[in-house]
């Protein structure tokens, strides 16, 4: 099946099960993230973080407005003058914001972890065999039955990728340490090995990507699913990599368009010095984009890889 045919089939599956997709994505993707965004925004305003950011911007604006680059080049003003004039304000601002920033970092991290665990149910709901064949309750029941095994698979997947990354990084460090070259030579070798590590991890992830579908469809256990995915992709390597890269490219283009819209919207407020307005616009636009991505882009991508797996499975 061609890329276009797979994408068309995935879109058809999406539209035929629109109500179920919306329920799954809203309950397990959108609602938790909206709560997270809302809580972080509330903490940012209530603890003075936004006010502090506005003060920091005002200090920066005062410096660049009062002094030109030529003033520093000519020695009319130096860093000591700036430190003397603005240092106390900056130190007070930093000491005032340390607590709130630490609080929002911890809360945000915990909320995102919780959202991630909830999102697994939404993902499972779309890829279980019952999707498109049974009602919402039965689909959710099937997703729950696979939940903890699926979490274990994801953890194992992550540990494998991490182990490969650490192993390759150690090999790279050892080789660079053995080869005694100049600093420029070491930098070139280091950059070369970083590219190799990235390519190796991407190659690994491509070969293990279907393990989630193999596990959910009950063909293999957690560990055996990884090996079965490797064998399946090895037989169809270039098709899987080509289709995946093409879909990722489409998603990237859409994401860049949304990013620039968000950037321009927030930047217009920053340009006039309204930091709080910029933050509100940024949050509002990101919620809108989150809705678009969660209700349209992510489900279609999940269905695309599910249909690709089922096609490759049928060729075995």
Q: Where along the chain do its domains lie?
A: 3-145+236-314
Buried b (16+ CB within 10 A) or exposed e, 136-164: eeebbebbeebeeebeebbebbeeeeeeb
Lowest mean pLDDT across 16-20, 32-36, 93-97, 286-290: 286-290
Mean pLDDT to the nearest integer, 218-228? 85
At residue 269 the predicted structure's pLDDT band, cuts being 50, 70 and 90, is low
The pLDDT tens digits for 30-57 are 888 888 888 888 888 888 888 888 788 7
62: tokens are 């005062």
Task: Encode pLDDT of 170-208 as tens digits.
Answer: 877 777 666 655 555 555 566 677 777 888 888 888 899
CA–CA distance, 157 with 222 (Å, rounded to integer): 10
Distance CA 168, CA 198 (A): 10
Q: What is the pLDDT of residue 52?
A: 84
Half-sphere exposure of 103 (CA within 13 A, CB side): 16
Whole-number Å distance between alpha carbons of 306 and 301: 9
Note whether 150 and 137 are within 8 A (CB). Answer: no
- Prediction pTM value: 0.78
For the chain, percent of residues with pLDDT exceeding 70: 83
- The answer to which of 40-44, 84-88, 138-142, 263-267 has the lowest mean pLDDT is 263-267
Report pLDDT for 13: 93
Helices (H) and strands (E) in the chain, counts: 14, 0
What DSSP letter does each residue of 168-216 carry, written as one string?
HHHHHHHHHHHS---HHHHHHHHHHHHHHHHHHHHHHHHHHTTHHHHHH
User: What is the C-alpha to C-alpha distance for residues 283 and 129, in angstroms, rounded to an integer?
Assistant: 36
Q: For position 59, what pLDDT does the model report?
A: 79
Task: Give the mean pLDDT of the chain.
Answer: 82
- pLDDT band (50, 70, 90) for residue 106: very high
């Amino acid at each position: 099946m061609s890329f276009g045919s797979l994408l068309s089939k995935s879109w058809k599956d999406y539209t035929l099960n629109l109500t179920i997709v919306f329920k799954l994505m809203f309950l397990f993707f959108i609602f938790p993230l909206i709560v997270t965004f809302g809580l972080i925004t509330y903490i940012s305003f209530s603890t003075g973080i936004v006010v502090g950011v506005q003060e920091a911007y005002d200090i920066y604006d005062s410096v660049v407005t009062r002094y030109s680059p030529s003033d520093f080049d000519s020695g009319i003003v130096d860093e000591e003058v700036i430190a003397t004039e603005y240092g106390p304000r900056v130190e007070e601002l930093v000491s005032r914001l340390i607590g709130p920033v630490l609080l929002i970092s911890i809360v945000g991290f915990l909320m995102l972890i919780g959202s991630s665990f909830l999102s697994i149910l939404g993902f499972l709901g779309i890829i279980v065999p019952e999707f498109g064949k049974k009602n919402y309750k039965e689909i959710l029941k099937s997703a729950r039955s696979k939940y903890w095994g699926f979490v274990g698979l994801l953890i194992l997947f992550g540990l494998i990728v991490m182990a490969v990354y650490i192993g390759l990084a150690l090999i790279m460090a050892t080789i660079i340490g053995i080869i005694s070259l100049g600093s420029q030579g070491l930098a070139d070798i280091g950059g070369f090995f970083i590219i190799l590590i990235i390519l190796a991890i991407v190659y690994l992830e491509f070969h293990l990507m279907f393990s989630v579908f193999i596990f959910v469809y009950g063909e293999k256990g957690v560990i055996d699913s990884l090996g079965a995915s490797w064998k399946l992709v090895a037989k169809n390597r270039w098709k899987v990599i080509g289709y995946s890269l093409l879909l990722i490219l489409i998603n990237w283009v859409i994401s860049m368009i949304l990013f620039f819209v968000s950037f321009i919207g927030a930047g217009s407020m920053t340009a006039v010095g309204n930091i709080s307005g910029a933050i509100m616009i940024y949050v509002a636009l990101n919620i809108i984009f989150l809705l678009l991505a969660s209700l349209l882009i992510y489900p279609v991508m999940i269905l695309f890889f599910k249909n690709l797996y089922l096609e490759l499975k049928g060729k075995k």
